[in-house]
Structure 1
Amino acid sequence: MIQKVRVAIYARVSTEEQAEYGYSIDAQLDTLRKYCELYSREIAGEYVDRGVSGKSIEGRYELQRLLLDAKDGKFDEVIVWKFNRMARKNIDLLHIVDMLEKNNVAFRSFSESFDTSTPTGRFALQMMGAVSELERNTIVDNVKMGHKHRAKTGKHNGKVPLGYRSVKVDLRGRESKIVIIEEEAAIVRNIFEQYSAGHGLKAIANNLNHRGHKTRIGKPFSTCAIRDILDNPMFVGKIRYNRYENWAERRRKGKTSELILVEGHHPAIVSDEMWKKVQLLRQKKSSMPKKRFEGEYLLTGLIRCPECGAAMTASRTVNRAKDGTKIVRMYYSCGRFRSQGSSVCHANSVRKDEAEKAVTERIRQAVTQPHILKKVVRSINEHRSGRIKPLRDELAAVQARIDKLEEKKLKYLGLYEMDEIDRDLFAERLNDLNRELDTELTRRSKLELELRDDQAEPVSYELVRSLVGRFDTLLHRSPFPQRKTLMHLIVKKITLDEGKCVDSVELAFNEETEKHFLSVAPSAELNAEGAFPFGKAPTLKQKLSIVI
C-alpha cells in the first residue's frame, strides 16, 4: 500500500490585509483542505497565524511551531494558498524554504502551482518571489509618493505630537484637520521656555515629572522626549517629512538629504522668535564636546537598578584631594534617574570595579564549585516542571475564551439569518469578535510553544557546566571589546539586592551563541571536579536561561 504524503497546511492574514482586501483565513483553509482531499494527501496539521504581518518570523508562533515540527519529521510537505502567506520578502521566503528542505520537507503553493521538490519548482519560487517583492515595493513607493505630496502641500502624515489632535471634518472621515489641545500645548510652551532660560534636558524632564505631567503615551518625560519636542518644527507651524528612509529597518542610519520642510495648515504652539532662540541654543550645545568617561565599562545596560529595575549606565565623579590631586571614581547609576530625574528614581550608584569583580567572581565560583552549579541545574529543572501547570491552566482559560467567542459568532449568525439584526450591525459585531478571536488564538499558539519547550527533557549538569565553563574561560582570556560583546550576548541581566550588592546573574544561551561564540572548549589545567575537561562539548539544542 502506498503511504499518503503527510501535509502541513499554513495560512496567514494580517489585520490590514483582512480589512483592505478581504483575505480570509477560513477561505484559505477550506481551499487547501479540498486540495488535500482531491489529491489523497493526509493533513498532518494546520498552522494558522491570524492578524499577523509577514514581515518576519518574530511573533508568528504558528510558523515557529511549524518549523519545529518540520525538524521532528511530522510531515513531508508544507502547502500554502499563496507563497506570500509564508513571507513578504523574497530573502525571508527562501530562508524558510531552505530550512524546510534541510529537513526533507517540500514547499508547495496552491495558487502558483509549483513545489520545491523539483529544480523547476525552486526556480519558479525564486522568480515569483522576486516579482511579488517588486509589486510590494512598487505599492510602498506609491504610498510614500502620496505621503510626500501631502507633506509638500502642508499636510501632516501619521500621529500628531503632544499639544495637537487630529479631528475628522467630513462624514466619511477622509479629511481631517489638526487642532491645538490647550492643556498639552501649555506643557510644550513650558518646555521651550525652560530651555530658552538655560535649563538642560534632564532638568526640564525632572521638573515636568515632579509636577506630574506625562508624555502623549502616558509615560514620564525623559531627556529623549524633551529633545524630540525641542527639535520638532511642527510646533512652530511647519511640516517636516522624509528625514529618514526605511526607518523600520535602518533607523537613524537611513537619514536622507531630501528633507521636506514647508509651512503647514495647522496652528503653531510656540512663536517664531522662541523657536529661533531655542534652535540657536541647540546648535550651540551640539558643538560642545560631549562627556567621555575614562575607563572601560563592561556591564553597561546589564545591571538592573534595585529600586525601579531599569538598566544602569556609566557615571563618574571627579573630586580633588587636599593636595590638589584629581580623584576620579567610576560607577554604574540608574538610567531612569539620569534621564528622567529624582521624581522617577534615585542614582543607586555602585562602584564599577566592585560590581564587575563580583559578577566575574560569581561566574567563576559556579565553574570551580560543583555544588553551586548542581544546585543551579536542579533549580532550572524544578522551575521548568513547575511552570507546566500554570501554563496549562492559562492555556485552558484561553481555550475557554476561544470557545465562548466562537459561540457568540454562531449566535450572531443565527440572528442575522432570521433577520433579527441588520447587516451593518452584524458586520461590525462580527469584525469585533474576529479581532478578539485573533488575539486569543495568537496567545494560544504562544503558550503551546512555551509548553513545548518546558516539557523537553531535563537539562543535564554536564551541559550547564560546559556552557558556563567555556564562557568563564573566554571572559578571562579575551581583550575588553570581546569581553563586553560576550557579556551582552550571554548575560541577560544582573540584579542587585537592597544593599546594592550583586544578587543574581542571569545567563541566556541559545544555539547561535553556543555555536558561534562558545564553540571552542577550553582545556582544564586541573582535573578537579567542576572543571570542564578538554574534549567534545555537549550540544545545546534549545534556549536555556541560568541564574547564578
Structure 2
Amino acid sequence: MEHKTVRVAIYARVSTEEQAEHGYSIDAQLDTLRNYCKMYGKTVYGEYVDRGVSGKSVEGRYELQRLLRDVETGEIDEVIVWKMNRLARKTIDLLKMVDHFSKYKVAFRSFTENFETETAMGKFALQMLAAVGELERNTIVDNVKMGLKQRARTGNYNGGLVLGYRSLATGDKRSKGSSLEIVPEEAAIVRKIFELYASGKGLRAIANQLNHEGNKTKLGNPFSTTAVKEIVTNPLYAGIIRYNRFENWNERRRKGKNPDPIIVEGKHEPIIPKELWEKVQVLHNEKSKVNPRVFDGQYLLTGLIRCPECGAPMVANRTKNRLKNGTFIIRRYYSCSNFRNKGSAVCHANSVGADYAEQYVLDRIREVISEPRILQDLLETINHRKSNTIGPLKQEWQSIETKLAAIDEKRKKYFALYEEDAIDREMFVTRIDQLSDESEALLQRKAEINHELGAENDEPITAEYIQGVLQQFDSLIQLATLEQKKSLLRLMIKEIHINEKREITSIVMTFDEQSQTLFLGVDPSAMQAEGSSFLSKEKVHLFRAPNRFTIIL
C-alpha cells in the first residue's frame, strides 16, 4: 500500500511585547517546525505567520483566519505549532479551533507539548495543558493587578496619558510612568476647563470654545463633550488618585463599573484647588439629575449617514417648534456627530431630514428590485469593481514576493561579505537588522492581502443573485420590528453619502458570509412573531453566495 505523505500547515505567532521582552523569534519557531517535518517525512503545505499580534482573540490575526479557511479545503492533514499558546491563550478558544480542525479530519500538534489529539487521552491532555496554561496566565494577571492596586493605595499613579501631566520613569521598566510632573501649558487648559464649568458653561460650549481657540487633547485631537467630561470628573487634578474605576475593561468596558474604586490622596502635585474641584462636582451632579430628553429611538440610520463636509457619522437630532395654533411639532434630523460633540470649530450641523432619508433608502432598494435596467447597470458596476479590486491585490502580492526574494539575496550577500571580512561586524549587524525590518513590513502586508483575497471571490455575480438578496432584505424589513430593522440596516448598510444640498447620493451595502447566512437566509414569515429573534429561526436557501460583495445603490 502506498504511503500517503502528511501535509502540514505550520502556524507561528509572536506579539510585539513577547518579542521585545522574552526574545521569542518567528524564525526560531519556523526553523524548529520545519526541521520537525523534515525529520518525520512530512510535507509543509504552507506557513501561516502572524507578526506582532496578540493571541487574545482571532481579530487582526489574518494568517490564522486564512489557516482556518484553508483547513476546510481538504488539502491539510495536520496543523502544528511550536507551543499551544501560539494558537490561542484561552482554553475555550483553543478547544474551538481544535474542534474545527477535527471536523475536517485535520490533526493538531504542539511541538513543545508532545501529544496527539486523535486519541481520547490526547484530547484529555490537550484540555488539561490548555487549562493549566490559562491558569498560569490568569495568576500572573491577578498578581499584576494586585500589585497595581497596592501602588494606588499608597498614592502612586499607575500610568496612562492624561492632559496636564507627563509620566516619568521611576525605577525599572515595569514601574515606568508611575510618577507625575505638571506640564504648565497643558495645566493652563485644564484650569480653564474647570473655571468655565464652574461659571455655568456646559460640556459642548466648553469644547466649542477650546476648539475655536486651537487647543488640543493629549493625543492632539479636537476636544469633544466626552473629553471635557472626563477632565471635569477626574479627581487626579485635585491631587487624588482614583484607580480600578472599571473592572475587566477588555471584556466588559463601561458595563464593568466598580462600585468601590480605590480613592486616596496622591503623591503628585494638584493642578486645581480642592474648593474648585468640589464646586464643579456639585454642579455636575445637579446637572446629571435633570431628566434626560425624551428619546424613543425612532432613528433607523444613526451612524450610517456620512457628513458631506467632514465624513463623520451623523447622529440623531430633533427640534420642537410651536405652530401658530399653539401646538408643538417635533422634527427629526440626522446631524454631524463632530458638530454635536465638538462644535462649529470642527464642522457644521449639515442636518438631513430623518423621514426623507429613511424613506429614500427603503424606496431605493425596492426601485432596484423592480427595475431590470437599474439592476443590470448595478451588476456591471459590481463585477467591474471586483475585477479592478482583485487584480491590483494580486499584482501587489506578486510585487511583495519579488521584493522578499531580493531581500533574501541581499541577506546572503552580506553574510558572504562578513565571512570574507569585507565588512566589519557593526555594519553587518546594522544592515541585517534593516533588511529584517523591511522583510517584516512586507510579510505583514502580504498577510493582509491574503486575508482580503480570501474573502473575495473573482467569479462574476449574477443578476438573479442580487435580486434575490435584495428581495429577501426588503421582505425582512417590511415584517421586522423596530429593533430588528435597526439590526438589519446596520448589518447590511456600510454607509450612506449625501451632498451639500442634503440629498442622498449613494447607499453602500456590503454583504459578507455572516450576514448572508444569519440574516438573508431567514424565512420572512418567521419574523411575524412578536419579538422574535431572526437569528435563531430556521434558514431557507437562496443561492450559492460569494464570500463578500458590495452594492452601491
Q: CA deviation at 1:224?
A: 0.6
2:548 aligns with one of 521, 530, 543:
543
Residues 190 and 385 (structure 1), Cα distance of their counterparts in 2 relative to 1, 3 Å cut: same
Question: Which residue of structure 1 aligns with residue 534 of structure 2?
Answer: none
TM-score between both structures, scaled by the size of structure 2 = 0.91
Amino acid at match of 1:80: V
Q: Distance in 2 between matches of 1:154 and 1:4?
A: 63
Q: Distance in 1 between matches of 2:333 and 2:425?
A: 67
Larger mean CA deviation between 315-324 and 511-520 belongs to 511-520
Contact 1:4 1:42 in 2 (8 A): yes
Q: Distance in 1 between matches of 2:477 and 2:326?
A: 37
Contact 1:49 1:62 in 2 (8 A): yes
- Matched ranges for 1:479-494 at <5 A: 479-494=481-496
Question: Which residue of structure 2 aligns with residue 88 of structure 1?
Answer: 89
Q: Distance in 1 between matches of 2:220 and 2:411?
A: 35
CA displacement, residues 409-447 of structure 1 (integer Å, 9 cap, x when unaligned): 66776788759345xx98788767655543332111111
Larger mean CA deviation between 487-496 and 112-121 belongs to 112-121
Identical-pair percentage:
52
- Matched ranges for 1:207-226 at <5 A: 207-226=209-228
Contact 2:456 2:547 in 1 (8 A): no
Q: CA deviation at 1:90?
A: 0.9
Residue 424 of structure 2 corresponds to residue 420 of structure 1 = yes
Q: CA deviation at 1:192?
A: 0.7
Question: Which residue of structure 2 aligns with residue 5 of structure 1?
Answer: 6
Contact 2:246 2:253 in 1 (8 A): yes
1:375 aligns with one of 374, 377, 395:
377
Q: Distance in 2 between matches of 1:321 and 1:137?
A: 63
Q: Distance in 1 between matches of 2:98 and 2:363?
A: 45
Amino acid at match of 1:363: I
Amino acid at match of 1:125: L
Amino acid at match of 1:147: L
1:358 aligns with one of 357, 360, 364:
360
Q: CA deviation at 1:450?
A: 1.8
Contact 2:479 2:524 in 1 (8 A): no
Question: Which residue of structure 2 aligns with residue 510 of structure 1?
Answer: 512
Secondary structure in 2 matching 1:115? coil
Q: Distance in 2 between matches of 1:238 and 1:407?
A: 59
| Residue segments in structure 1 that go unaligned for 5+ positions in a row | 524-533
Secondary structure in 2 matching 1:48? strand
Q: CA deviation at 1:397?
A: 5.2
- Matched ranges for 1:312-323 at <5 A: 312-323=314-325
Q: CA deviation at 1:169?
A: 5.3
Residues 288 and 544 (structure 1), Cα distance of their counterparts in 2 relative to 1, 3 Å cut: same
Contact 1:521 1:536 in 2 (8 A): no
- Matched ranges for 1:30-429 at <5 A: 30-168=31-169, 177-294=179-296, 296-396=298-398, 398-399=400-401, 402=404, 420-421=424-425
Aligned Cα root-mean-square deviation (Å): 2.5
Residues 77 and 169 (structure 1), Cα distance of their counterparts in 2 relative to 1, 3 Å cut: closer
Larger mean CA deviation between 86-95 and 370-379 belongs to 370-379
Q: CA deviation at 1:9?
A: 0.8
- Matched ranges for 1:513-524 at <5 A: 513-521=515-523
Amino acid at match of 1:81: W
Contact 2:225 2:342 in 1 (8 A): yes
Residues 47 and 519 (structure 1), Cα distance of their counterparts in 2 relative to 1, 3 Å cut: same
CA displacement, residues 322-359 of structure 1 (integer Å, 9 cap, x when unaligned): 22111221111111110010111111111111111101
Residues 429 and 204 (structure 1), Cα distance of their counterparts in 2 relative to 1, 3 Å cut: farther
Q: Distance in 2 between matches of 1:429 and 1:178?
A: 39
Contact 1:293 1:316 in 2 (8 A): no
Q: Distance in 2 between matches of 1:221 and 1:535?
A: 49
Contact 1:385 1:455 in 2 (8 A): no
Contact 1:51 1:438 in 2 (8 A): no
Amino acid at match of 1:31: T
Residues 213 and 535 (structure 1), Cα distance of their counterparts in 2 relative to 1, 3 Å cut: closer
CA displacement, residues 351-388 of structure 1 (integer Å, 9 cap, x when unaligned): 11111110100111121112222222221111111123
Secondary structure in 2 matching 1:114? coil
Q: CA deviation at 1:400?
A: 5.9
Q: CA deviation at 1:391?
A: 2.2
Q: CA deviation at 1:83?
A: 1.1
Contact 1:510 1:540 in 2 (8 A): no
Larger mean CA deviation between 22-31 and 132-141 belongs to 22-31
Q: Distance in 2 between matches of 1:426 and 1:271?
A: 58
Q: CA deviation at 1:89?
A: 0.7
Residues 244 and 132 (structure 1), Cα distance of their counterparts in 2 relative to 1, 3 Å cut: same
Q: Distance in 2 between matches of 1:42 and 1:129?
A: 27
Secondary structure in 2 matching 1:45? strand
Q: How many residues align?
A: 536
Amino acid at match of 1:121: G
Q: CA deviation at 1:540?
A: 2.7
- Matched ranges for 1:6-25 at <5 A: 6-25=7-26
Q: Distance in 1 between matches of 2:262 and 2:40?
A: 57
Q: CA deviation at 1:222?
A: 0.5
Residues 203 and 420 (structure 1), Cα distance of their counterparts in 2 relative to 1, 3 Å cut: same
Larger mean CA deviation between 120-129 and 49-58 belongs to 120-129
Q: CA deviation at 1:408?
A: 7.0
Secondary structure in 2 matching 1:117? coil
CA displacement, residues 113-151 of structure 1 (integer Å, 9 cap, x when unaligned): 123222222222112111111111001111111111211
Q: Distance in 1 between matches of 2:307 and 2:224?
A: 17
Q: CA deviation at 1:46?
A: 0.9
Question: Which residue of structure 2 aligns with residue 526 of structure 1?
Answer: none
Contact 1:385 1:454 in 2 (8 A): no
Q: CA deviation at 1:455?
A: 5.1
Q: Distance in 2 between matches of 1:368 and 1:163?
A: 60
Residues 430 and 216 (structure 1), Cα distance of their counterparts in 2 relative to 1, 3 Å cut: farther
Contact 2:521 2:541 in 1 (8 A): no
Amino acid at match of 1:90: T
CA displacement, residues 6-48 of structure 1 (integer Å, 9 cap, x when unaligned): 1111111111111222211111111111111111111111111
Residues 330 and 262 (structure 1), Cα distance of their counterparts in 2 relative to 1, 3 Å cut: same
Question: Which residue of structure 2 aligns with residue 476 of structure 1?
Answer: 478
Larger mean CA deviation between 226-235 and 68-77 belongs to 68-77
